[in-house]
Structure 1
């Protein structure tokens, strides 16, 4: 830690002793403020299990690094007793991560600060080239332009893609809805483009639903859950992710929770995986539009068409029947996952969030009726709350080295 920024020792030994104790607490302290779990220095002290003096030194160093702000005039929290505590907040003008997302209907770049706050976004592109290098070059160019315009320091970059991403290679194994070749080395391409653009910091890539779950767990509807199941459908297909004991679970090679290939309708539509009736083709926007007897139009994304149909024409019997059919299929898949995983919370994103809003009781009843754990105690099913959660999750990848060791990452 920076000796210049630490307060004088008060009843805790030498300044050097306090600094040495606080150095290892910098990362945990930053994560507590980042996730909103330490709004004051008193809470930070309790969560870290250190003395007030050490917590003060840690907060001062994080402030010196430009990551947080410490309120110079402490105020008492509502209903609290004892002396007031200094409030902690994330720095409004601090560093950012470059986040990028590619999906079937375009791509988007953004700058994301600590706390999952989107600082700036670039206009999204609606055409995705079949060559991943061309797409990633364009999205990095858009991100680099945002960095130039804002003048922010960049800690790294993260990319969300609608494909399973194999570890440790960083290859997109099945980007089916992008027309990209199977096994495209998306992480290497992204990292090379990041370096070529002169953007500092490491580059990462991961599955978009995994990143949505990570973001929701830290900043949204999944906050506080220990074992969190996230299932979502965006523009095409269905994805799932699991936060297990507070950590994103990706399996031995990054391919865990490919829930889109759970069979929920054995005589249903052929799936890209070679099976039939998978969630991927039975509970996504295209499946809903087909079920409702609507021909997809080219004007807007399939997701927007499906959402608009439910929100604006739910009284139409064909639309209501399609909603019920998809809820039943989704509920069947969720029940199977509940039986296997026993999560303490389920969150739904994309079209699935809209289905939940349309008829929450039906979905919860299907899950409870088909799952052992549901029958003994209904698992809460909630809607995702973050806008652009996959983008926020992509930024979390880039922020993680800073959360692990702020001094080393920002040196």
Structure 2
């Protein structure tokens, strides 16, 4: 009798320990059916069925118990698995130089609702973060959905474990602003349930793209992006962000790509940060940055609509060459198996992919020996989705414990 109890308990514990890995497989789209889930987890079909049923009971996934067979297929079709559209959400917030945005994000990186906020970012981080959290709380109330936690993306390196924004160069916040503490306080005061997390916007974009976008299944993923101002980078190794000893790794914006170039906020000259961002492109193209719209939108529209203008084309080629030089240096150091580009860098890649890939191959050792794939980011609002990933992680680690 004791042996049967022990065996039953062991099976139960084994099933519960598989809940997190199973949820992550469905969350990232790698287990669309119960058969695939069984194979990926390395468990019996009965155990996979029990795990899927438990996740369904928690309101996290849907199990289609009567799927149709594909034309010409043989054997019994496997149950299909998908995230539940009416399931819990994470609240996500992003602050950047041209405003802020709030969102609700479900499992699978699905944007449930978004709300653009103020286009004016004041010098008071508590005021700005408070306003965007208010927007998050309003979205959550309107949705009526359960919340698992909150995530915030900021345009600065965020020191760990303190959670201070060390270098918010393109917004007027003081260096060292305690953004994590401010965000957690605002989330709690707004009545939003669950833990609160804060991270660098490009780090979070890379995490989202690795799980749901252009970086899926890459082992060593390098992401470089320029948003509204400046340039950021991130590295995902074996599914985890590489943030260094204190959260400050991959400050790629301060690689020198033009020794005689523009002065940089960091004290250097000719950094990627000031040589390949939207302001640099508009300046090189002879356009006056307009106050009526974001620099990112203005530069993207210019590339798409006026690329045949020699001044625009020459400016694009200038930025592509400098971006390629920076990427080549990173390829030499990091040896990634994939590079993804976001923001204006994505638009530059779309404008002349062969030129950028040729510069990287010509100026990097590993680029010459074997081409490193360079792809555009594919997710809308990937920093917001990445901020939500921070809030979803405790659920992915332990669904029962997090939702209890």
TM-score in terms of structure 2 length: 0.97
The DSSP-based 3-state class of the residue aligned with 1:47 is helix
- The residue that corresponds to 1:142 in the other structure is 135
Alignment partner for residue 105 of structure 2, among 103, 109, 112?
Answer: 112
**Do the aligned residues in 2 keep the contact of 1:34 with 1:90 (CA within 8 Å)?**
yes
Distance 2:388 2:203 in 1: 12
How many residues are paired up? 401
How far off its partner does 1:129 sit? 1.1
CA distance 1:80–1:165, shift in 2 (3 Å): farther
The answer (yes or no) to whether the contact 1:75–1:86 under 8 Å persists in 2 is no
- Report the CA distance between 1:14 and its aligned residue: 6.4
Structure 2 residue 139 is matched with structure 1 residue 180: no
Range with bigger deviation, 68-77 or 45-54: 68-77
SS in 2 for 1:287: helix
Asked if 1:48 is matched to 2:41, the reply is yes
Deviation string 1:201-237 (CA, Å, 9 cap, x unpaired) is 0000000000000000000000010000000000000
Decide whether aligned partners of structure 1 residues 153 and 322 sit closer, same or farther in structure 2, where only a CA change above 3 A counts.
same
Report how far residue 78 of structure 1 moved.
6.1
Matched, 1:253 2:243: no
* SS of match in other structure, 2:287: coil
Q: C-alpha distance in 2, partners of 1:348/1:389?
A: 12
Corresponding position of 1:103: 96
SS in structure 1 of the partner of residue 116 of structure 2:
coil
> What is the aligned partner in structure 2 of residue 357 from structure 1?
350
Q: SS of the counterpart of 1:176?
A: coil
- Per-residue deviation, residues 334-383 of structure 1 (Å, max 9, x unmatched): 00000000100000000000000000000000000000100011100000
The structure-2 alpha-carbon separation of the partners of 1:408 and 1:78, relative to structure 1 and needing over 3 Å to count, comes to farther
Distance 1:122 1:364 in 2: 36
Partner of 1:370: 363
CA contact (8 A) 2:60 2:83 kept: yes
1:346 aligns with 2:339: yes
Q: What SS is found at the alignment partner of 1:121?
A: strand
Instruction: Give the deviation of 1:178 after TM superposition.
Output: 0.9
Q: Which moved more, 1:240-249 or 1:322-331?
A: 240-249
Question: 1:76: how far off?
Answer: 3.5
Q: Is the 8 A contact 1:243 1:249 kept in 2?
A: yes
Deviations 1:312-355 (A, max 9, x none): 10011000000000000000000000000010000000000000
Answering whether residue 392 of structure 2 is matched by residue 399 of structure 1, we say: yes
Q: Check conservation: 1:174, 1:183, Cα contact below 8 A.
A: yes
CA pair 286-141 structure 1, distance change in 2 beyond 3 A: same
User: Residue 117 of structure 2 contacts residue 135 of structure 2 at CA under 8 Å; is this kept in 1?
Assistant: no
Is the Cα–Cα contact under 8 Å of residues 102 and 161 in structure 1 kept in the other structure?
yes
1:82 positional shift: 3.0
Per-residue CA shift, 1:266-312, capped at 9, x if unaligned?
A: 11000011100000000000000000111111110000110111111
Alignment of structure 1 residues 79-228 onto 2, 5 Å: 80-228=73-221
Alpha-carbon spacing, 1:64–1:16, altered in 2? closer, same or farther (3 Å): same
- Say if 1:30 and 1:403, in contact at 8 Å, map to a contact too: yes
DSSP-derived class of the 1:178 partner: coil
Change (3 A) 1:191 1:15: same
Partner of 1:275 in structure 2?
Answer: 268
SS at match of 2:170: helix
Q: Is it true that 1:240 corresponds to 2:228 in the alignment? A: no
**Aligned: 1:315 with 2:315:** no
In 1, Cα distance between equivalents of 2:218 and 2:74:
29
- Equivalent runs, 1:65-84 vs 2, <5 Å: 65-77=58-70, 80-84=73-77
**1:332 pairs with 2:320:** no
How far residue 83 of structure 1 moved from its aligned partner, in angstroms, is: 2.1
Query: What is the Cα deviation at residue 15 of structure 1?
Result: 5.3
1:84 positional shift: 1.3
Q: Which moved more, 1:279-288 or 1:65-74?
A: 65-74
C-alpha separation in 2, matches of 1:250 and 1:297:
35
What CA distance in whole angstroms lies between the structure 1 residues aligned with 2:11 and 2:68? 25
Please tell me whether the aligned partners of residues 98 and 395 of structure 1 are also in contact (alpha carbons under 8 angstroms).
Answer: yes
Change in Cα spacing, 1:345 to 1:90, as seen in structure 2 (3 Å) is same
Unmatched runs of 5 consecutive residues or more in structure 1: 1-12
CA contact (8 A) 1:19 1:54 kept: no
How big is the alpha-carbon RMSD for the aligned residues of Structure 1 and Structure 2? 1.4
Partner secondary structure for residue 122 of structure 1: strand
Please say if residues 335 and 367 of structure 1, whose CA atoms lie closer than 8 Å, have aligned partners that are also in contact.
yes
Q: How does 1:288-307 map to 2 (within 5 A)?
A: 288-307=281-300
